[in-house]
Amino acid sequence: MTTPVVVLLRRDLRLDDNPALAFATTAARPLVLLYVLDPATAPGSAARWWLHHSLTAFNRSIGGRLVLRRGDETAVVEHVVREVGAGAVHWNRRYEPSAVAHDKALKSKLTASGIEVVSHPGGLLAEPWTIATALGTPFKVFTPFFAALMSRAPFAKVIPSPGAMRWCESPLASESLKDWYLVPKKPNWAAGFETAWVPGEESARRALLDFIDEAMEPYASSRDRPDKRGTSRLSPHLAFGEISARRLWNTIAAHRPGAGRDGFLRQLVWREFSAHLLFHFPDLASRPFRQAFERFPWSTNAEHVRAWQRGRTGYPIVDAGMRELWTTGWMHNRVRMIAASFLTKHLRIDWRVGAAWFLDTLVDADLANNAAGWQWVAGSGTDAAPYFRIFNPTLQGQKFDPDGAYVRRWVPELIDVPASMIHKPWTAMSSVQGYPPPMVDHATARAEALAALKSVNPGNSGSE
């Protein structure tokens, strides 16, 4: 057959280990690689910046052959299929509930028109519906999920990048990426992104090798230290599919067992667990998993939300994280937990408010990870930290940023405060110019949070 094949790309902007692209290429039929920007499902502001540069890098890697279109994805795909007379459409599967429903409907419409549609497992180590408890139900707790997933290892081998590709020669217009306005101009609030990140598949490979060489061995002990370069910083590359989970797993697992290697692999399984939860519990991103939290008396104090968003809470470790987020589109994972705990427990702001802010400001925004993470911290999720476990932001700062290097980097008002006081600057001999006092007292806020918890769950006294 010589009819063209359309490969519909989403968050899988890579050549390596791309099942849909590899399968379509082996068919030796003319290829159309299509990316559709659908306004209804466009990513958040920070992720749009990454998308612009990721598309640029991918298009460069295939000699400028990527077709860009904007509009309703179903209508655009149908139009492109007719334009080139395509006989088949391939894509890698997505697992978010709305995406699953969309892809089922798209497949139905195309199939009804006589078009072959093939979906491929491309984003996870294992398909969510293949991992189940002994009773055939979805897992709700990480540890048994981890055991079940590990029983399947080693996972499928990665698929090498395709060789020469046969391109469809039919004239096919592509929109200009700059006309999509994915990157800000004036003001350029993403200027800090440009010094922090280089999107693209090649950069993802380099980041993986750098992690192995520099940070994998001490990962278990340094991953919670925001003052150190102890994490992989691969999350945005993974979120946009510039590198696959299987490539990460197989590359890391090939090294000698150790606490660092094994700790990183465990984090990949947390990603799988989040996808598993959202796939089986479609309301995870919009409703608390624990029904008692439907009645929780969340605060609606807009001033508190703004102070948190701007890094003006008066708690240095929280403010450093929120400013790092705004400047670079990323925040260290330990600090994400501290900042999320502060919002949901010290300020008692609904976790969905924080989740929405992260989705808009993170370059690695991922619906499943975001929902599962926020519900875990808020205490409302399936495998959650109990609500009565309330991080003390001062103690957290002292433990994970003991010399205050992280705080000084992102909160310059405190640059001259000695390490002994940097996580409680209100105790300094003289006032710190320009830095606010704590917006709430920790002990008072903790007591009020526990009282709120008891109001919706009288049996919980707040003790472990």
From 365, 368, 391, 367, select the one nearest 378 (Cα to Cα): 391
Alpha carbons 334 and 228: distance in angstroms, whole number: 12
Residue 264 backbone phi and psi in degrees, to 5: -70, -45
**What are the structure tokens assigned to 430, written together?**
């003289």
Alpha carbons 69 and 53: distance in angstroms, whole number: 16
Beta-sheet pairing, 31-37 with 67-70: parallel
Side-chain-side CA neighbours of 348 within 13 Å: the count stands at: 21
User: How large is the greatest C-alpha to C-alpha distance in the chain, in angstroms?
Assistant: 80
**What are the structure tokens assigned to 119, written together?**
């979906």
- Domain positions in the chain are 5-122, 124-157+200-280, 291-454
**Which pLDDT score, from 0 to 100, does residue 27 have?**
82
Contacts of 401 (CB under 8 A, 6+ apart): 225, 226, 227, 317, 320, 407, 423
CA distances from 133 to 266, 272, 380 (A): 19, 15, 22
Mind giving me the DSSP string for 213-253?
HHTSTTHHHHTT-TTS--S---HHHHHTTSS-HHHHHHHHH
- Tell me if 201 sits within 8 A of 243, measured CB to CB: yes
Q: Topology of 124-157+200-280 in CATH?
A: 1.25.40
Alpha carbons 134 and 409: distance in angstroms, whole number: 49
- Helix and strand numbers, DSSP H then E, in the chain: 19, 5
Mean pLDDT by 10 residues, the chain (464 residues): 92 97 92 97 97 98 97 98 97 97 98 97 94 96 96 89 90 94 94 97 98 96 95 97 97 96 97 97 96 94 98 98 98 98 98 98 98 95 82 98 98 95 88 90 96 77 38
Mind giving me the DSSP string for 9-67?
ESS---STT-HHHHHHHHTT--EEEEEEE-GGG---HHHHHHHHHHHHHHHHHTTT--E
Alpha carbons 296 and 390: distance in angstroms, whole number: 16
Mind giving me the DSSP string for 53-94?
HHHHHHHHHTTT--EEEES-HHHHHHHHHHHHT-SEEEEE--
The amino acid occupying position 353 is V
Contacts of 273 (CB under 8 A, 6+ apart): 139, 142, 145, 146, 372, 383
Bridge partners of 34, per DSSP, are: 8, 67
Cα 147 to chain centroid distance, Å, stands at 23
- Tell me if 304 sits within 8 A of 448, measured CB to CB: no
Q: Does domain 5-122 have CATH number 3.40.50.300?
A: no
Alpha carbons 62 and 67: distance in angstroms, whole number: 11
Q: Topology of 291-454 in CATH?
A: DNA Cyclobutane Dipyrimidine Photolyase, subunit A; domain 3 (1.10.579)
**Which pLDDT score, from 0 to 100, does residue 155 have?**
86
Cα 90 to chain centroid distance, Å, stands at 25
E strand or H helix that includes residue 306:
helix 302-309
User: C-alpha angle with apex 359: 56 to 451, nearest 5 degrees?
Assistant: 165
Alpha carbons 330 and 25: distance in angstroms, whole number: 35
